[in-house]
Structures are given as structure tokens and as C-alpha cells.
Structure 1
Amino acid sequence: MGFGSRSPLFGFNDSESSRGGLLLKTVAAAAPDGSSSSQGHTVPLLQEMADMDTEIDVPLLLDQVEDNRSEQTLESPTEDELGVESLDYDPIHSFVSSQQRRAQQRRHFYGYTGLTLAKWSITIMIGILVGIVAYVIESSQEVIISTKKQWTEDAINQGLHLPLVFFIYASFGISLVLFSSCLVLFWAPAAAGGGVTLVMAYLNGNDIPDFFQLRTLITKCLGTICTISSGLPIGQEGPMVHIGAAIASSLTWMHGRFPTKKRQGSSSSHSSRLCCDRINQLSNKAFPFDFHNDKDRREFISAGTAAGLAAAFGAPIGGVLFSLEEASSFWSRKVMWRSLLCTSCATMVLSWLNKRDFSLSLPGSLSFHGLRPEFSLDDLPLFVVTSGAAGLLGACLNTAHGWLSQLRPSSRHRLLRIIEACSITFIAVGAIFSLPHFFGHCLEIQKEQEDEYWFRYTCPGADSITGVGYYNDLATLFFSVPHQSIQRLLALGSTVDSYFTVQSLCIHWMSFLGLFILAYGIATPGGIFMPSIMVGASFGAFLGRIFQIWLPSANVQPGLHALVGATAMLGGVFRSSISLVVIMVEGTGGIDFILPVILAIVISNWVAHHIHHAGAYEADLERLGEVCFLPSEPPHKLIAITAGDIMAPGVICFNEIVSVAEVVKVLRETQHNGFPVIRRTESDGCGQLVGLILRHQILLLLEQRALMEVDSQLLNRHLAPRISSRQRVTKEQQFYEHAMRVYHHSHYPHRRYLSSRPEALDELDLDEILQEAAPSVANGTGANGNNDQHTEEANNPAKSNSARKTVLALDLRPYMNRAPLTVRGECSAQRVFIIFRTLGLRHLCVTDSSNRVIGMITRKDIGKAQQQLEQSEGKFVLERQESDGSAFFGDRTNRDVLFSLP
């Protein structure tokens, strides 16, 4: 993403475009079947033309514009450096793929190819697995929390000193957090935080390294259980979104090619290569459908995201709307239907595991069914006050998190990160032990109250005469399972006003909010949905009790104010609208509460917007300087500038048949992932755009030695090659095209940025080939020597015949994207944004009136233009300089920035 050969910032790969200089080398060829040879099994050009049944003319390579930054040294990423690249949501319309699609359309059974059935089957499997994982996480943390609570009560009843009970309780909680943080810091850094922000970034078009790796999924599940059970104010709803997306990603990656092992050094054998090819062929027969392309995987991950949230809240419709409104940047009718099926399967499976009944009425791990409070229109003014105050709390939470994130230790100091997590756990456990001891109130257990929930703590035992028991209201709120406490707060009615005192509610929401701010961003898995609901419900119940005291004649129900406060807190933190309304209505199980919920969302969003401009997800995405998130609406300021203002000029272009030496040099000197393919015209001698080739496609051709031997003079002729639409596609071309689709899965799964490093060429063992082909360099067929040599040979034909030699080349025509999207340089930058965002592009070529490439636009260029316009108050001055990120995070690494998010 970005242009020029730049050194990566924090290891983020700035490698979406193609510009820079060229240096000439040549390499030896190998057999098209992938075998390597010291002499090289070359394919003469005439034989290749005979096989393709078409006339081949080879053009002269376009004169390249040298970039003075193209000679910068590219360093390999360190252990803490991870690269972020764009995803290829736009399918490649190559000649081979189009011919294969035509052939596949004729292979059907009564009009069906089976692809749709396979997608629906995988969608159902995603929902089932998400429901099972949600049940395991929910039941595990509930058992651990309930056991800890029961042990604490028994230990106090047995006469153990409270400090001793506290240290045992704290030691257990710290052990859980220590285990969780060590898993994150030393094994799977991508599992930290909630993961919703990075799911949004991925579905927007950014490839987050290791984010959907299996170890990340395992760490997310185990770490979430440990973190919630430790006593920290952390929820499981955000991690469930990440878990659902990771399950969807894992299921789609199970199909297709067997991962080819990377060669180590130059000792890779031809037999092992053929063995992998045979395994790949067998796997293709066993799995006729592969979903390794980013477009299909995006649809499944959107469905998995919806299922994760639906399982957390018991809201199948709310999960779909959350994926539509917040997570997914690309939506369609088929994605909506798959998401609905996926959420329904997840909630029904979770309901059956909980109640042994397939139902959508009581499935979620954070559902609040059974509420009975009622309201009248006279209560709306009080709801407005509660909504505004809770929205203000949500905005203050986001502001405090942004400020505190700058003070957290760097992941370079892993010990400090572990100490931070353990210290906050110790503080949290100390608060839930000390605050009830000094400020809790001992209240009588009413007949309608359940004995299992209420916690006696330091209160006296049941009266031997009357049998009346007592409970500590503040200790009950702290020690109980969170969703049970939230349900009790939402159930407070006008006739029941003794469950929790006003002082206890005030201390609870204030202390819980403070602990929430401290725990928000530590190096452990955990989300912020549940803590936000807890703070909002406690704060709303507190205001409801205040209104009861101030307005004794009004029918004030603190439970309704708790519901309004919880909804408003979510609105102030996340700034969502429709999805939150549906989630709260489905979660409470009553349509009667829809008016207060809508009012809470509207008021809280309005108030929070004037305090903090963005929600939790948007604010964290803004801090990710190298993750370019494109919002749904284009910035209005972009209308004043054009595509020519934001494009990167001096794009590296390849001929349709290009010298291998030039390709190798370009790949070594740059990190770009897109190279326009041009064709020289006889009229003006300039190159016109005919296609676009990606870096991984070229690497695959080099790896499989899909080379051809051509006369060096043919590379200097102004001829126009054409491929007939009736051309037959060979088996080798089909194999290469399929291998290109699954290249990242086979070579660099979950870290595709590694293919943009110069080290990717070293793994291809091209040294011997380059050395043997070195004499061919004497002809000077490089990017800068083509024009001079061509002119000299035209004036001196005798010298041209004496200098005629053969070189190795790559034929890009069968595999290049023959329909790359382009815009004119005069096009509005706002329209460029709309095209880029709507179609999910990675590269957008800028051409002139003669269809000649004059620049390239990527996601990074749009992001930089938008940032510069905001900083310069509408005056756009293009400065292609990288930010060091110190304005936000100082010496924090990308692990801190990426993997400590909600």
C-alpha cells in the first residue's frame, strides 16, 4: 500500500503499487512441470506459438521512470514487526480463468454445479461450531466464577481471616491472567483484546497477519475464559465476534490445495516437488471447490462475525445487523441470507446446549429475558436525562482509553506487559474485596429472592428464630456472574426497592468504570460489551433510585432506567444505532421496551458525538496509522482534488512478454504488488495498458520455472501480440492459474506480506540460473537500455544481427488481469474513493487520453490524502513521507497498536 520503494514502518508493508528503477539480469529456464535443471529445459518461442495457435509479437518494454528512492535498502521484519497489506477482493479476469469458467458452466447437474450447496453447508457448519464454542466459554467461566464465590463464602464461614481469603482469591485470579497474558505475548499476539476492530479492518480490505491463525483461535478461547474468570471487568462478546470470524476463516481454508512446503536453501529436490504436486491433484479431486480467494472468504467471515455476536447476546437478527452496520464493509443479499442462517444455527445450538430445546427465545449467554417493568409516556423526560448522562460516560470512557493507551508499556518489554496485567488484576480483586467490606449494606433476603444469587460475605448468618438471612448488596454485584447481576439490575421495579441501596449502586458504577478503564487494553483477550452494559445498567439504576427519592409521586422504575442506561452506554461507546436497538430488544425479549431503547440510542449518540468525535472502533482504527480503513461515505474534502493529485507517478510497467532478468530485479528492488502490463503501439511507440499482473503471480511462475526462451531482438520490436478467444488452455496453464489462486495459502498463510519481501526470491533458488544466464546481460535489454539499443540497431542492421542472442522471458498474457479498472487523471478524488470502496479494489490505474499509464492509486494513497486534507484544513499538498507513529504510541510496536483493541 503506497508507492515507491520505502523502508517499512514498524514492519508494515507499503507495497501495493509498482514504481522504481530496473536493473538487468537473466536467469536459466526450467521445465514447465516445475522441475529444475542446471542447463534449463527451455521452450523455444516458435514451439510456444505453435502450441497456442496464435501469432505472437513481442513489444519493446516501456521506458521506466527512475525513482530516486528505489535503491533504498529493504530490511527483513523483526520478531515484533508485522506487515499489513491489502486484500484482493477484485477477482482476476485472466484469459485462463475466463476459459475455465466457461468450461465449468457446462459441467452441471440439472443446472447446479454444487458450489451453492457447498457454501450453504459451510455456513451451517460455522453456526454450529460458533454455538458450541460459545457454550463452552459461557459455561466454563460461569462454573469458575460460581465456584470462586461459593469457596469465598465457605472460607469466611469457616473462620478464615478475610486478608488470607483475599490473597488466595487474588493469587488464583492472577494465575489465570498470567496464563492468558503469557499465551498472548509469547504464542499468539493477535489474540489480545476483543478483536472486533481488526475484524472490521480485515473485512474492509486489510490483511491482518496471524489474525485468523489456529493458534490465535485457541488462545482467544482459553484466554477469554481465564480473563473473565479472574475478576477483571472484561466481557466475552467482542472475543466471540473474533472467534466466529476465525472459525469461518479456518473452515474455508480447509478446502483446496495441499500446502506446498517452502524450500530451504538450494537443496530442494525435484522428487519432493512432484510429490506435493501429486498431493495437490488428489486434494483437488477430493475438494472440487476452494474458497481461498479473498472475495469468498470475506462472505464467510461476515457470516461468522454475525454468528459470534448473535451467540453472545442471543440475538440472531441483531447479529446480522451488527455485521451489516459495523463489521462488514461489503454487503449483498446473499451475504445477508447466509448470515441469517449462520446466526440462527448458532443461537439454536446454544439454546439446545443450555435448555435441551431448539428455541430462539432464550439462547444467549448475555440475555435478559423475563423482565416485567412497565413505563408510560410521562417517564420519557427522565429517560432523556438518563440517556444523556450515560452517553456522556461512554464518551469519557473512549477519551480516557485514548489517553491511557499512550502510557501503557511497549510489547518490546513483555515482562512489563505481564506485570501490568497482573497488577490490574490485583487492584480489581482488592476493590471487590475492600469496597463491600467498608461500604456494603447488609439487607434481608426477601421471600421472592433466590438464595443462590445473593452473597452474604461479611453479613451475619440467618436468624435462628425467624430464619431471615442477610446479603451484602455490593458484594453480590461484584462477586456474582456478570450477566446475572445485569439481569437483577434490569429487573428492578417500583415495588421492589431494597435489592441494592443508592450508596452501593453509586460506588459500584464508579468503581467498575474505573477498573474497566484500567483493564481496557491489557495484553489479554477480552471485550468491552459486557463492562459497558454493566456500567450503564448500574448507573441507570442509580439514577432511577435518585428519581424515586426526588419524585415520590411518580411511578419511577429503576429497572427501566437501568435498561436505558445500559443501551445509552453502548451507544456512547460504540455509536451504533439500529443493531444496538435490535440487540437490546432481542436480549430483553420484549418489544415493549423499544421506545425507551430508541430514545436512549438517539440521545446518547448525540451527546457523545459532541464530547468524543468517534466511537471505540473508529477511534482505534484512526490510531492504526498503517491500517487504512475506508469508511462507507467519502470525505467531502476529496471533491476538490483529482486522481492525478493523489496518485503515485512513475509506475513500473511490464511488457506482455518480459525478460526474466528485469522481473527479478524489480522484485528484488521493490515491495510492490501490482504491475501494469503494457503493449507498444506502432504509431507512437508508447505503451498502452492491456492488463495488470500481481506480484504473487510472477513469483509462482518463477517458482514453477514457467519460462520461455526468446530471441533478444524480439523484445525490441513494436509488435502487437494477441490471444485468440478460441485458444485452448493447456493443463500446465490450468495448474499455474489454480496455484496462483492458492498461492498465499500454500506459501505464506496468514502472513502474505512476506511475499513482498526480497527474501521471497531467495527461497526460489534462482542463484545458479542467474549466474549461468549472466552473459546475456551484455545485450543491454534493460529498462533504460531498450530505446538506445533499438535506435542503434535500426541504424546498423549488421551490428544487430551479430548481437542477436536468446534470453529467458515470462509470458504474462494468459495470467494477467485483462480488465483492470482505470480512471483518468482528471477524475475527482471523491469518485476514486467511491470506486475503490465499493468494488474493494487493491490497485487503480490512472491513465491519460491515450490509455497510457501515468500513475497508480492504492488504499494507502487515499488514506494519506484524506489525512493531509484534515490536517491542512482543506489545502492539499502531497507529501509522500511516512509517519513514525510517535504522535500516538511513542515506542509502542505494532503488536500494541493492533492487538490491544476492543
Structure 2
Amino acid sequence: MAPEAITFRGRQDGEEYEELEQIRRYEDFTTIDWIQESIAERNRRIREERARSACRGPRGEITPAWVWSQFQRLLSAGESAFVMTLVGVIIGINAALISIVTKWLSDIKMGYCADGWWLNQQFCCWEVDSDEEFCSSWHPWSTVTAARWLLYVIFAGVFAFVAAHLVRTMAKYAAGSGISEIKCILAGFVMQGFLSFSTLVIKSITLPLVIASGLSVGKEGPSVHVACCIGTVVANWFQKFSRSQGKMREVITAASAAGVAVAFGSPIGGVLFSIEEMNHIFRIKTMWRSFVCALVATFTLSVMNPFRTGKLVLFQVTYSRSWHFFEIIFWVILGIFGGLYGAFVVKLNMQAAAFRRKHLANHGVAEAVVLAVLTAMVGYFNRFLRIDMTEMMSILFRECEGGGDYNNLCQQSVQWSMVNSLLLATIIRMGFLVISYGSKVPAGIFVPSMAIGASFGRMVGIIVKAIYLTNQQSGIFSSCDPDLPCITPGTYALLGAAAALSGVMRITVTVVVIMFELTGALTYILPTMIVILVTKAVGDFIGTRGIAEETIRFNGYPILEQEDHSLDVAVSEVMKKDLTVLYASGMRVQDVGK
């Protein structure tokens, strides 16, 4: 057979194989065969190399076809960077739009702007310097308290109904956080439609509605899901990624980093989150792609500047004072709270999920509406539950001298009533979070946990400040400068938020970096590390798993976990003792039935 015929036959076989490879799809709820994927990727590279070599002349001379193949190779090399950049830009734009719409919907429950219905309270009262000053352009819906309360509850119920109805009828995978499922997808589990365009659109629309309804859920987890949807949709436009499951997973990992980055304004924290929480098998190449995607997404969000304050998130804050060593005692208390909070919420939420699956599986819309209405009815009468959680954290994190005296929060004369309000906010929000997380709407647990930790931490900070003011001559406070404020309650709110987030998610380094990027203060890295260390120790002692791992176990998704195994356990201790034995002979049918 002539060499030309052999070459032609080889190309034909390669084209047929490529066509079959494009047609082949994994079945839904199956696991990817990574060995087969690696073989297919290797064969694809071999075919491309052979095709480029065949472009040279008979004696190896350079031809126009060879030049064109080298140009295509150069474009292919830069394709990954282009895709990561494009995904990051779209994630940043989407995050900015969601933040703007969420703020407007949250404010519309309280009133409207006379200068323009499309303006939220911040933009409507842009010329007002502080929260205490009167804003003539912003009008509440009524001057009667009962009417304002009723409208507040009605808005909450309507927002929850619209969101739950859209999820049920148009994109069932838009419900929940999405982090647990994405972890399984990155491990090779196939869930067709979970990262589809319809899920992206519906979750982007319903997420602001859910947050504005006042449900005790957050947008950070769903933001990761939305970002991964964007990464999948964009990557499918390019054949290099759409035909390779491995490369597609790299894009999803990078998108998850960008989702956390825009949610917290923390690009490095987003990259660490994708390493620590999302993907157990992480390569350096994937880390750099995650960093590029997170950086571009954060830069895009910064350029759009959704809050017109230069901040990427509402609760970004800076501190001008340092801390004292005697405060470590109280930080340990915050760490213990974080560990106990994580164990409590994870256990009770799994029980609530079991109840939901058994009794409320077909009533997702009604459940969401009832939860939103109950949350609004109860939360309206507490100053810290009435406002949006991100806005509440921005208030609790502030120093009193930096415009943080919201509703007399820093006034010593009402400090104990503030303690009561913060304690009630902590308990009530914790209860609503347990029953709300997992409902059939987009729902995250990051911000609610941080809000619970912030309210508890601020309460502890106020108590510590009161102890200092009544015992200034005590030796424990000898390091305090009498001419300067000694205790900053806002820092306790920040550390409490870190403890609660670490306790429920069981992540450590990521939380430290996120808190550092939120504050920009190197001074508070050590306090954050101490709190997270205590939180982890308490969680390890109790044996708590992260909420994402427990959700995976509850839903029965397959995932291989990297667990530490004991090597000093006897084989007899792990073997089953009561065995069911089938004998080769001498058994009757009734014996087999038993």
C-alpha cells in the first residue's frame, strides 16, 4: 500500500475517532472515567503534532501550511489566558449587577426615593453625610408603624414567592448553595444542567430577590455557583475546553475562586478557597489560572464600583488602633463560640433537611414564602434583624469614632439594651438559618454565619468595654493608654464573624486571608489566627464536619475524601463479626430466604 494511502487512512481514522469522541457524552449522575479522558487527551495531542509535521514539504522545508499551523498553535497557547480573562470579566459584571439590584430591592421594602424610583436609599441621600441626618428625598411608605410593618412583610413574601416559583418552574438546580454539588462535579461527578445557561440566568435573577426578602441566607455560596455557570458556558464556546472534561474542570475551579473573590472582595482568599475547600487534587497550573480569573473579576468589580464608595463589599472596613494581650482571653471565648456554633448549626440543619425531604418535598414555594414572612414579622422589631445582613455587618465592624454610632450603638448609657438586642439577633437569626438554609431558593450560609458571629462578637466587645470602663485601675488594663480608647468592639464583631464562618465551613487559612483582605490590617492577622485555631480545635474535639461535606453525605453524592486513617488499629476491630454465609451444599430455599 502506498504511503499516501496509509497517511490518508490514518487521518480518516483520526477524524472518525474525533467525531465519535464529540458524540460521546457521559450519562447524567455518573462519574467521569479520568483514565479514558487522559488517553483521549494524549491521542488528541499526538494527532495535532502529526498534523503539524505533515504540513512541511517533502524535504522538511517550511511551507505556508506549516506557518499557518504554527500560528494556530500560538493562538491555542493563548486561548486559556483569554478564556480565564473573559470569564473573570463576566463574573465581575454579573456580581456588580447583583449587588446593585439587591441593595435597591432591600431598600424598597422600607420606602422609596422621591427623586427617582430606581435609586436606593444610599444614592437617594447621597448628599447626606451621616445616617443620623434627615434625608428629605427618601420617603417611608407610611408614617404609621403598623402599616410600615405590614408592607415590609408583604414585600418579603412577594420576593420569596417570585424567586421560589421561578426556581421550581424554570431551573430546579438554581436552588440551594451549589458548593456541595460543585465539589462533586470537580471530583468527576456528572450533573447535566447544574451549570447550564438557564441555571445561570434564573439564579442571577432570583438571588437578589431572596436576599431582599430577608431570609436568613446569603449570596456568597450562590455567587460561587453562578460564577461556575459562567465559566462552563464561556468554556463551551471553545472547542479546546468543551471536548476535554479535565480542562473544563480547571475552568470551573478558577471560576469558583473568582466567585468567592467578588463576594468578599478578596482575590487571594478566593484562590485559597478553591484550594482548601473545592478541589482536593490541585495543580500549580490550575492555581495560576484561578489567580488570573479571580484578579480580573475583582478588578472588573472595582471598576464598576457598585456602591460608589470604592469598596468591593459593603462590610469592608479599616482599623486605626492595635490590640492588647489581655484581649486574648476574650478571643478564646469567640473561638469556642465559633466551634460550638458550627456543630450546632450543621447537626440541626441536617435534621431540618431530613424533615424537609419527608414532608415538604412538594411544597417548596409555600415553604419559602412562609419562612420569609415569619422572618420579616419577627425581624422587623429588632434593629439588627430589620436591615440587610451585609449592611448590619458593615455597622458592627466599624469603630465608634468612624461614624459607627448606628442607633446609639456606641452610647454607654444604652449599652445593656444593645447587648440584649444583639443577643436576641444572634439567637433568632441562628434559628431561622437552621430552617432556611436548604429551602428551594438560592441560599448560602457564608454571610448569615458571619452576621451571627458579628452580632455575638459585638456583644462580647461591648461587655469587655463596660468591664474596662468600670475597672480602669485594674492591673489587667495597665497596658491601655488612658487618653485613647482601649477596647474596639468592632474588632470583636470581625473576629466573631471569622469564628462562625470557620466553624460552619471548617476552613481555616482561607478565612484568615479573607478577613485580612477585608480589613487591610496586618495587625489583626494574629488575633484572627488565634480565634480560628480555637474554633478548629473545638470543632475537631466535637467531631464536626463542614456543612458542605454533610450535605454531600445527606444527598448521597459520590466523592472520594482524603481522610486520615489510623494505622495502629487491629484488623479484627474493623472486620464484621456476624457474617451471612452461603454454603455450597446442604442449604434449602427457606434457608437462603432467611
Corresponding residue for residue 116 of structure 1: 77
Q: Matches of 1:366 and 1:328 in 2, distance apart? A: 29
CA distance in 2, matches of 1:50, 1:353: 54
Post-superposition shift, 1:378?
2.0
- 1:575 and 1:615 in contact (8 A); partners too: yes
SS at match of 2:355: coil
Q: State the match for 2:396 in structure 1.
A: 489
In 2: Cα distance, 1:173 partner to 1:226 partner:
9
Residue in structure 2 matching 1:300, options 236, 240, 251: 251
Alpha-carbon distance, 1:84 to partner: 1.3
Mapped to 2, the partners of 1:49 and 1:112 lie a distance apart of: 25
Which residues of 2 match residues 17-28 of structure 1 at below 5 A? none
Tell whether the 8 Å contact from 1:190 to 1:211 is kept in structure 2 after alignment: yes
Task: Name 1:479's counterpart in structure 2.
Answer: 386
Match of 2:261 among 310, 314, 330: 310
Q: Is the 8 A contact 2:141 2:148 kept in 1?
A: no
**What is the rounded CA distance, in whole Å, between the counterparts of 2:335 and 2:376 in structure 1?**
30
Bigger shift: 490-499 or 294-303?
490-499
2:552 is the counterpart of 1:616: no
> Letter of the aligned partner of 1:119 in structure 2?
S
Segment of structure 1 superposing worse, 341-350 or 92-101: 92-101
Per the alignment, residue 545 of structure 1 pairs with 462
- Of residues 146, 150, 168, the one that matches 2:151 is 168
Distance 1:356 1:368 in 2: 11
Map residues 580-595 of structure 1 onto 2, 5 A cutoff: 580-595=511-526
Q: The residue matched to 1:429 in structure 2 has which SS?
A: helix
Match of 2:537 in 1: 606
The equivalent position to 2:445 in structure 1, one of 519, 523, 528, is 528
Question: Mapping of 1:50-199 within 5 angstroms?
Answer: 83-90=28-35, 91-93=37-39, 97=44, 99-104=46-51, 106=53, 108-109=69-70, 112-151=73-112, 158-160=142-144, 162-199=145-182
Whether contact under 8 Å (1:396, 1:612) holds in the other structure is: no
Amino acid at match of 2:554: R
Helix, strand or coil for the counterpart of 2:316?
coil
Are the equivalent residues in 1 in contact too, given 2:142–2:148 (CA < 8 A)? no
* Alpha-carbon distance in 1 for matches of 2:570, 2:248: 36
Is the partner of 1:193 in helix, strand or coil? Answer: coil
The change in CA–CA distance for 1:376 and 1:312 in structure 2 (over 3 A counts) is same
Q: Distance in 2 between matches of 1:638 and 1:219?
A: 51
Question: CA separation in 1, counterparts of 2:251 and 2:568?
Answer: 33
Q: Given the alignment, which residue of 296, 313, 316 partners 1:345?
A: 296
Q: 1:194 to 1:411 in 2, by over 3 A?
A: farther
Please say if 1:331 is aligned against 2:282. yes
Which residue matches 1:632?
562
Separation of aligned partners in 1, 2:83 and 2:432:
40
- Aligned pairs for 1:249-264 (under 5 A) are 249-256=232-239
1:396 matched to 2:347: no
Question: Aligned pair in 2 of structure 1 residues 96, 430: CA closer, same or farther (>3 Å)?
Answer: closer
8 Å CA contact 2:495, 2:531 repeated in 1 = yes
Alpha carbons of structure 1 residues 103 and 310: separation in structure 2 relative to 1, 3 Å: same
Structure 1, residues 360-390: CA drift from partner, whole Å, max 9, x if none? x955335413333421222111111122123
Residue pairs, 1:638-787, within 5 angstroms: none
The offset of 1:49, in angstroms, is 11
AA paired with 1:393?
A: Y
Taking the aligned partners of 2:397 and 2:301, their CA distance within structure 1 comes to 23
Is 1:225 the counterpart of 2:172 in the alignment? no
Aligned counterpart, 2:375: 428
Q: CA deviation at 1:557?
A: 2.4
Distance 1:398 1:874 in 2: 30
Q: Give the letter for the 1:610 counterpart.
A: F
Q: Which has the higher contact order (CA 8 A, sep 6+)?
A: 1
Asked if 2 retains the 8 angstrom alpha-carbon contact of 1:390 and 1:540, the reply is no
Contact 1:421 1:522 in 2 (8 A): yes
- Aligned residue for 1:738? none
Q: 1:405 to 1:111 in 2, by over 3 A?
A: closer
Offset, 1:528: 0.8
Q: Could you tell me how far apart the structure 2 residues matched to 1:391 and 1:517 are?
A: 16
Letter in 2 for 1:221: S
Aligned residue runs from structure 1 range 353-364, under 5 A = 353-354=304-305, 362-364=310-312
Q: TM-score, normalised by structure 2?
A: 0.77
What's 1:241 paired with?
A: 224
Moved more, 615-624 or 106-115: 106-115
Q: What is the distance in 1 between the residues matched to 2:71 and 2:8?
A: 35
Taking the aligned partners of 2:342 and 2:523, their CA distance within structure 1 comes to 25
RMSD, aligned CA:
3.2
Distance 1:200 1:92, change over 3 A: closer
Cα distance in 2, alignment partners of residues 560 and 580 from structure 1: 15
Higher helix share: 2
1:574 matched residue in structure 2: 505
**What does the per-residue CA deviation read over 1:377-417, in whole Å, with 9 as the maximum and x for residues that have no partner?**
22111111122123212221111101111111559853x22
TM-superposition CA deviations, 1:194-252 (whole Å, max 9, x none): 11111111111111232111111111111111100111122111111111111111111
User: Is 2:466 aligned against 1:515?
Assistant: no
1:398 counterpart letter in structure 2: V
TM-score, length-scaled by structure 1? 0.52
CA distance in 2, matches of 1:411, 1:158: 39
Contact 1:314 1:366 in 2 (8 A): no
Return the alpha-carbon distance in structure 2 between the equivalents of residues 49 and 98 of structure 1: 20
Between the aligned partners of 2:202 and 2:568, the Cα distance in structure 1 is 42
- Asked if structure 2 preserves the Cα contact closer than 8 Å seen for 1:134 and 1:312, the reply is yes
- Name the SS for the 2:195 alignment partner: coil
Describe the shift of the 1:100–1:145 C-alpha distance in structure 2 as closer, same or farther (beyond 3 A). Answer: same
| Residue matched to 1:322 | 273
Residues of 1 paired with 2:454 and 2:307: CA distance? 30
Indicate which of 321, 328, 333 corresponds to 1:380: 328
Task: Note the alpha carbon deviations across 1:831-881, whole angstroms, 9 max, x for none.
Answer: xxxxxxxxxxxxxxxxxxxxxxxxxxxxxxxxxxxxxx9xx84549999xx
- Of 516, 521, 528, 1:597 maps to 528
| Cα distance, 1:484–1:50 mapped onto 2, change above 3 Å | closer
Superposition deviation, residue 101 in structure 1:
3.7
Is the CA contact (8 Å cut-off) linking 1:394 and 1:573 kept in structure 2? yes
Q: Does 1:208 align with 2:191?
A: yes
State how far apart, in whole Å, the 1-side matches of 2:77 and 2:52 are: 13
- Mean alpha-carbon deviation: is it higher for 244-253 or for 492-501? 492-501
Alpha-carbon distance between aligned partners in 1 of 2:214 and 2:562, rounded to the nearest angstrom? 38
1:332–1:419 distance in 2 versus 1, CA, 3 Å: same
CA gap of 1:295–1:546, structure 2 versus 1, over 3 A, is: same
Per-residue Cα deviation, 1:526-550 (whole angstroms, up to 9, x for no partner): 2111101100000011111222233
**CA pair 493-363 structure 1, distance change in 2 beyond 3 A:** closer
> What percentage of residue pairs aligned between the two structures are identical?
25
Structure 2 CA distance for partners of 1:185 and 1:105, relative to 1, 3 Å: same
CA distance in 2, matches of 1:171, 1:557: 38
Who is 2:130 aligned against? none
Alignment of 1:826-837 (within 5 A): none
Question: Aligned partners of 1:424 and 1:401: how far apart in 2?
Answer: 15
